[in-house]
């Protein structure tokens, strides 16, 4: 059996996505072997993450500043909002250079089997942005084309059109891999899905 300190770290690592007992043990023994330098580097990075990362109060991106650099950028089109499920989806879309509007991060999508999760999503915040910006031209619903993504896009479309029926509501063109997260789609496919949105 391992010592209590080793076990504590193993248990903590096992809370990470896709990390089981085996992988957690490999990490811990890697650090014990690599010594203090590498462990301190990780400790500093985690400290900085806690200390500096804020939620953007406009789009719910994670950033060291609030508002985030995208929301603070005057050159972006603030009358075009692209709704994504998670923060890494922003990075994936930014890499394509196919979009110059702003974003809204829902922090998840509606789970058809568990409607309670809806309150945790940033839907109210999106509704407020739609209500407050009378010049809003377009909302792009860029969620994964799986069942939860489809449910969410249908719900949002109804909500938004209720507030302002003039807003153009689009979604990414077909061709993205079914059921996979946006952030795993390749740059060219994602860029063309954005450019050819329908």
Minimum distance from residue 59 beta carbon to Zn ion (Å): 3
- Which C-beta is closer to Zn ion: that of 28 or that of 71? 71
- Which C-beta is closer to Zn ion: that of 56 or that of 193? 56
Q: Binding to Zn ion (CB under 5 A): which residues in 58-87?
A: 58-59, 61, 67-68, 71
Minimum distance from residue 101 beta carbon to Zn ion (Å): 12
Size of the site for Zn ion (CB under 5 A): 7
Q: Are 110 and 151 in contact (CB under 8 A)?
A: yes
- Which C-beta is closer to Zn ion: that of 59 or that of 143? 59
Minimum distance from residue 131 beta carbon to Zn ion (Å): 18
- Which C-beta is closer to Zn ion: that of 61 or that of 144? 61
Q: Are 146 and 177 in contact (CB under 8 A)?
A: no
The tokens for 54 are: 């804020």
Whether omega before 67 lies within 30 degrees of 0, making that bond cis, reads yes
Q: Binding to Zn ion (CB under 5 A): which residues in 42-61?
A: 56, 58-59, 61
- Which C-beta is closer to Zn ion: that of 69 or that of 179? 69
The tokens for 42 are: 């990780």
Minimum distance from residue 100 beta carbon to Zn ion (Å): 14
> For 33-38, which contacts have Cβ atoms below 8 Å and span 24 or more sequence positions?
none
User: Residue 27's closest CA among 9, 45, 15?
Assistant: 9
Write the CA distances from 161 to 33, 106, 130, 193, integer angstroms: 58, 18, 10, 23
Binding site for Zn ion (CB under 5 A): 56, 58-59, 61, 67-68, 71
């Amino acid at each position: 059996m391992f010592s209590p300190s080793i076990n504590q770290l193993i248990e903590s690592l096992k809370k990470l996505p896709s990390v089981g007992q085996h992988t957690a043990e490999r990490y811990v023994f890697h650090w014990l072997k690599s010594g203090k330098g590498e462990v301190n580097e990780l400790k500093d990075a985690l400290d900085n993450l806690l200390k500096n990362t804020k939620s953007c109060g406009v789009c719910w991106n994670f950033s060291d500043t609030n508002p985030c650099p995208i929301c603070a950028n005057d050159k972006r089109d603030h009358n075009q909002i692209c709704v994504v499920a998670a923060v890494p989806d922003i990075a994936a879309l930014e890499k394509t250079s196919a979009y110059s509007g702003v974003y809204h991060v829902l922090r998840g999508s509606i789970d058809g089997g568990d409607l309670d999760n809806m309150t945790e999503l940033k839907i109210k915040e999106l509704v407020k942005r739609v209500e407050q910006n009378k010049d809003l031209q377009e909302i792009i619903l860029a969620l994964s084309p799986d069942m939860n993504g489809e449910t969410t896009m249908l719900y949002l479309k109804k909500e938004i059109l209720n507030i302002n029926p003039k807003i153009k509501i689009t979604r990414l063109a077909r061709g993205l891999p079914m059921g996979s997260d946006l952030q795993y789609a390749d740059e060219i496919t994602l860029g063309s899905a954005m450019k050819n949105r329908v």
